[in-house]
């Protein structure tokens, strides 16, 4: 017998065999059991996730001689559908049968009752390839099909299917299969096929498959042919021309040490080693994404890979701040587009490497002001090149009370005194300056507001219709504003931001608001203005 590739040998034959699509299989099983079948289904999703396999299983279920909610795969009807010989199940390739003549022929045939089974099932793969006239010819049939006919459409591009067709189908979106689900399925195949393989090799195959179970099975087939012994991670790297994870960790070390020479040498090795530049950049983006996930979540659970990879990723993440990782990913994303269109991919790769190595650490305006204050008082110690999270930790430590300084107990409950608008007006400018000292952007935002009144110790501050960004920022820093207000007026005071039409000019965008604030900061504080100009700073929140 000829060899049967793993993708065909292990193709799902029953609902339980379909991997990671429980939301689809459970619904279809219930529909069969309760006799609530639609006359047309649309299966969408990436390649190799089980769309056509699920369509075949549905066809077998509807025509199985056992008449149950899942096919028996033993009766003559199930065997004929599995082998593609059943006279009442038609699999049509939408790419090669896309014209109106083919659809007209289909319309003629569906009028006849099934020759053997209970239902005629038409499976049209890549249905989005049909021409507009073909879709129009199919429309009437979809609206009022014979009771014995069921259509199943499969497509990777549902946005290309006309809305008139979509509205007549039940839509099921098949998901990309996670690396962990792919690894578990491949482990099962390897056990059944008596194949020895390392866990790291399975991880590399799953990542290369990019959510496609069929692709992962094809790659495993290739690796079996590549080596006759136990499949290792090195075999997968060599056989597929992959970039080893060690290279990406080396990039993080180069960026941390700002070693431009080593960075350029690494690019040289990628190019002369015959590796795909676009694949290298994509892998590096995924690496920085993992670092960002660890920084944001505080743990490595969101990293797909072995336990050793998670541990190393957690250690490397400590060298970068979240904002810096975001900027690195943006640099790589632009480089990937440039590499794809470049005559010489080496140039955009080298440019990206230089930008990443020379990239300054992200610093907020508030951090710069704190540094200026410390510099003026002779207490500035945090180095400019230190990672941002270390600088913030240093600033937080400086703000803690010393052992000799008594910690102030919370204020005892006080009798609520009535606050007047005149009292707030008299102190407003001084309050704004105190808030600016704590967080200059929030103070500047509040300065744009107007005091409307004081009601039951609630200070009401009005903002124009164009100042939505201001109000959102103030709300995020509510604790700072309340602390300053309560230090001045007592613990019972509160504040409220109110959007109001003051007859202002046209509403401005958040970007225009940010640019306006930058100009305001530069005019109010020349030192800050010089820093903004020198660093080409921008407001990100």
Compute CA 90 distance to the chain's CA centroid, rounded to the nearest angstrom. Answer: 38
Alpha carbons 338 and 331: distance in angstroms, whole number? 11
Residue 188's pLDDT is 92
Residue 58's pLDDT is 92
Which tens digit of pLDDT belongs to each residue from 203-244? 889 888 888 999 999 999 888 888 877 888 888 888 887 777
What does the chain come to in residues? 541
**Domain contains 99:** yes
What's the half-sphere exposure (Cβ side, CA atoms, 13 Å) at 251? Answer: 30
Tell me the two tokens of residue 383.
């180095």
**Domain contains 376:** no
Residue 404's pLDDT is 41
CATH of the domain at 84: 3.40.50.300
Looking at the fold, whether 303 and 184 belong to one and the same domain comes out as: no
Alpha carbons 132 and 95: distance in angstroms, whole number? 13
Q: Which residues make beta-bridge pairs with 89? A: 121
**Domain contains 380:** no
Residue 406's pLDDT is 44
Strand, coil or helix: what is 121?
Answer: strand
**Domain contains 317:** yes
Residue 398's pLDDT is 46
**Domain contains 400:** no
Looking at the fold, whether 65 and 142 belong to one and the same domain comes out as: yes
pTM across the whole model? 0.61
**Domain contains 208:** yes
Alpha carbons 159 and 163: distance in angstroms, whole number? 9
Give the domain-ending residue among 173, 200, 228: 173
Looking at the fold, whether 165 and 194 belong to one and the same domain comes out as: no
Can you give the residue range of the structural domain that contains 73? 6-173
Give the domain-ending residue among 128, 152, 173: 173
Give the domain-ending residue among 358, 378, 408: 358
Strand, coil or helix: what is 102?
Answer: helix
Strand, coil or helix: what is 163?
Answer: helix
Alpha carbons 402 and 414: distance in angstroms, whole number? 28
**Domain contains 78:** yes
Looking at the fold, whether 344 and 447 belong to one and the same domain comes out as: no
**Domain contains 369:** no
CA distances from 45 to 42, 154, 156, 177 (A): 10, 8, 5, 10
Residue 392's pLDDT is 45
Strand, coil or helix: what is 38?
Answer: coil
Residue recorded with tokens 């690496």:
287
Looking at the fold, whether 102 and 76 belong to one and the same domain comes out as: yes
CATH of the domain at 462: 3.30.300.180
Residue 173's pLDDT is 93
Looking at the fold, whether 34 and 88 belong to one and the same domain comes out as: yes
Residue 525's pLDDT is 65
What stretches in the chain show pLDDT beneath 70? 1-2, 305, 361-416, 466, 503-541
Contact predicate 266/251, CB 8 Å: yes
Looking at the fold, whether 159 and 41 belong to one and the same domain comes out as: yes
Residue recorded with tokens 């709300």:
475
Looking at the fold, whether 251 and 231 belong to one and the same domain comes out as: no
CATH of the domain at 200: 1.10.8.60
Looking at the fold, whether 324 and 286 belong to one and the same domain comes out as: yes
Tell me the two tokens of residue 224.
């079996």
Looking at the fold, whether 340 and 447 belong to one and the same domain comes out as: no
- Please give the tally of structural domains in the chain: 4
Residue 44's pLDDT is 92
Looking at the fold, whether 124 and 265 belong to one and the same domain comes out as: no
Looking at the fold, whether 274 and 349 belong to one and the same domain comes out as: yes
Which tens digit of pLDDT belongs to each residue from 314-335? 888 888 888 888 888 899 988 8
Alpha carbons 466 and 64: distance in angstroms, whole number? 65
């Amino acid at each position: 017998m000829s060899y049967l590739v793993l993708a065909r040998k292990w193709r799902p034959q029953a609902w339980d065999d379909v991997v990671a699509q429980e939301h689809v299989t459970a619904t279809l099983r219930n529909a069969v059991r309760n006799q609530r079948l639609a006359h047309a289904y649309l299966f969408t999703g990436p390649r190799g996730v089980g769309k056509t396999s699920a369509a075949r299983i549905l066809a077998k279920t509807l025509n199985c001689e056992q008449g149950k909610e899942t096919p028996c795969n033993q009766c003559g009807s199930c065997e004929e559908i599995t082998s593609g010989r059943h006279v009442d199940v038609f699999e049509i390739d939408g790419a090669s049968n896309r014209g109106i003549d083919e659809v007209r022929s289909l319309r003629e045939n569906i009028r006849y009752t099934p020759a053997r089974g209970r239902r005629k099932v038409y499976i049209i793969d890549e249905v989005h390839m049909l021409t507009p006239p073909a879709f129009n010819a199919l429309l009437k049939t979809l609206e009022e099909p014979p009771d014995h006919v069921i259509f199943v459409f499969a497509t990777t591009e549902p946005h290309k299917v006309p809305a008139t067709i979509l509205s007549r189908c039940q839509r099921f979106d098949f998901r990309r299969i996670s690396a962990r689900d792919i690894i578990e399925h491949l482990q099962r195949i390897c056990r059944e096929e008596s194949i020895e393989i390392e866990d790291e090799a399975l991880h590399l195959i799953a990542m290369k498959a990019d959510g496609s179970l069929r692709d992962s099975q094809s790659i495993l087939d290739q690796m079996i042919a590549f080596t006759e012994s136990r499949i290792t991670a090195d075999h997968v790297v060599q056989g597929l021309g992959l970039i080893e994870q060690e290279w990406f960790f080396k990039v993080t070390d180069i960026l941390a040490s700002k070693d431009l020479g080593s960075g350029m040498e690494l690019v040289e090795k990628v190019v002369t080693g015959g590796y795909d530049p676009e694949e290298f950049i994509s892998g590096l983006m995924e690496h920085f994404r993992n670092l960002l996930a660890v920084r944001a979540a505080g743990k490595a659970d969101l990293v797909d890979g072995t336990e050793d990879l998670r541990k190393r990723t957690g250690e490397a993440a400590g060298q970068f701040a979240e904002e810096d990782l975001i900027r690195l990913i943006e640099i790589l994303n632009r480089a990937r587009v440039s590499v794809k269109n470049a005559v010489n991919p080496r140039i955009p790769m080298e440019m990206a490497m230089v930008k990443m190595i020379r990239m300054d650490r992200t610093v907020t305006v508030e951090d710069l002001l704190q540094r200026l204050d410390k510099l003026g008082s002779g207490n500035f110690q945090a180095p400019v090149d230190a990672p941002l999270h270390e600088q913030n930790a240093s600033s937080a430590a400086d703000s803690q009370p010393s052992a000799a300084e008594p910690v102030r107990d919370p204020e005892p409950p006080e009798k609520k005194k009535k606050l007047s608008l005149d009292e707030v007006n008299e102190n407003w400018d001084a309050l704004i300056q105190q808030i600016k000292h704590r967080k200059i952007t929030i103070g500047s935002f509040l300065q744009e507001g107007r005091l409307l009144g004081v009601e039951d110790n609630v200070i009401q501050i009005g903002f124009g219709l164009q100042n939505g960004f201001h109000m959102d920022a103030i709300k995020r820093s509510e604790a700072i504003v309340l602390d300053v207000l309560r230090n001045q007026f007592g613990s019972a005071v509160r504040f409220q931001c109110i959007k109001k039409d003051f007859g202002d000019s046209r509403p401005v965008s958040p970007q225009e608001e940010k640019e306006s604030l930058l100009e305001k900061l530069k005019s109010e504080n020349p030192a800050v203005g010089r820093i903004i100009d020198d660093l080409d700073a921008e407001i990100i929140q």
